[in-house]
Amino acid sequence: MINLKASLSILLLTLLTVGVSTADSNIGPLFGYTGGNNGPEKWGNLNPSYSTCKTGKNQSPVDIVKSQVARSRTFKSLTRIYNPCNATLINNGFNVGIHVESDAGVMVVDGKNYTLEQMHWHSPSEHRLNGVQYPMELHLVHKAGDGSTSVVGILYQYGSPDPFLAKIKDELEELAKETCAENEEAHIGLGTMDLKLLQKQTRKFFRYVGSFTTPPCSEPVVWNVLARVRNVAKDQVEALKAPLSAEYKNNSRPLQPLNGRRVELYAEVD
């Protein structure tokens, strides 16, 4: 999750200031997942604007240990009212996602409206439940009028096909055929998307305050990780990885320490 325009200009600025020649190399995004010079342990050193990745005390993802979560006394529902909206499928180099172009609707958290801005997939999952890492995680990124961010994380295990990914199968194949020249994003129009499949009633979820899981790792982000793990077919996960280069096919940030943070469980009934 990152503002791409900002990150590209930061990238350019960095290249100018350190004088790296880009003439003959296809530079990837600055950060990577495979270790080496730009792996997750080094993100905070890659750019001054990424320093929170190293110094932040409220970083994501985390392992959600069910025996240690605090059950909230009051149930606050996670209301999401999504609209059909125009959307674009995007490969930004480090993940595949969907940006919404028109009013996609809101999530209401503690009486505050957060508008859905974009969603993207990570594989394998970033959050874990009781130490279990799942094959895939979807992040639905919402922003409120005051700039604050709240993300819904949905975990997927291998099983029957995910109906939402089934709808964009052809476009994902098309995206995989596009070669991104010069580190540009690849875009495929999706027309009008019905997001209802993503807004199923949420009776149980975990909430904690964390960060973006990609540089600049900004805090705070109000995380809502749904307790119910959904199903995805293996070939759907492969289709999401296909457009990405080898370094980004596995794009899951390692677990971050809780540093005393509390994860709260919101459950309607038990």
Ligand X SMILES: *[C@@H]1O[C@H](CO)[C@@H](O)[C@H](O)[C@H]1NC(C)=O
What is d(CA 232, CA 239) in angstroms, rounded to the nearest whole number?
11
Q: Binding pattern to ligand X, positions 233-252, x when CB under 6 A?
A: -------------x--xx--
Stretch in the footprint of ligand X (CB under 6 A) among 12-20, 63-71, 81-89, 216-224: 81-89
Nearer to ligand X, 10 or 78 (CB): 78
Q: Pairing between strand 128-129 and 63-64?
A: parallel
SS (H, E, C) 170-204: HHHHHHHHCCCHHHCCEEEEEEEECCHHHCCCCCE
CB of 10 to ligand X, least distance (A): 26
Residue whose beta carbon is closest to ligand X: 102
Residue count, binding to ligand X (CB under 6 A): 12
Decide: is 86 part of the binding site for ligand X (CB under 6 A).
yes
Decide: is 102 part of the binding site for ligand X (CB under 6 A).
yes
Residue 74 to residues 68, 109, 265, Cα–Cα distance (Å): 18, 13, 10
Q: Pairing between strand 264-267 and 230-232?
A: unpaired
Rg of the chain in Å (alpha carbons): 18
CB of 49 to ligand X, least distance (A): 27
* Amino acid identity for residue 28 in this structure: G
Which 17-46 positions form the footprint of ligand X (CB under 6 A)?
none
> What is the tally of helices (H) and strands (E) in the chain?
7, 15
Residue 117 to residues 114, 150, 164, Cα–Cα distance (Å): 9, 11, 17
Question: Residues 188, 88: contact at Cβ < 8 Å?
Answer: yes
CB of 102 to ligand X, least distance (A): 3
Decide: is 157 part of the binding site for ligand X (CB under 6 A).
no
Decide: is 81 part of the binding site for ligand X (CB under 6 A).
yes
What is d(CA 52, CA 34) in angstroms, rounded to the nearest whole number?
20
Decide: is 183 part of the binding site for ligand X (CB under 6 A).
no
Which 250-269 positions form the footprint of ligand X (CB under 6 A)?
250
Nearer to ligand X, 47 or 118 (CB): 118
Q: Binding pattern to ligand X, positions 203-232, x when CB under 6 A?
A: ------------------------------
Stretch in the footprint of ligand X (CB under 6 A) among 19-27, 53-61, 106-114, 172-180: 106-114
DSSP state of 132: B
Nearer to ligand X, 246 or 269 (CB): 246
Using CB under 6 A, pick the residue from 85, 104, 232, 263 that binds ligand X. Answer: 85
What is d(CA 66, CA 74) in angstroms, rounded to the nearest whole number?
18
Nearer to ligand X, 26 or 102 (CB): 102
Q: Which residues are near ligand X by CB under 6 A? A: 81, 84-86, 102, 106, 108, 113, 192, 246, 249-250
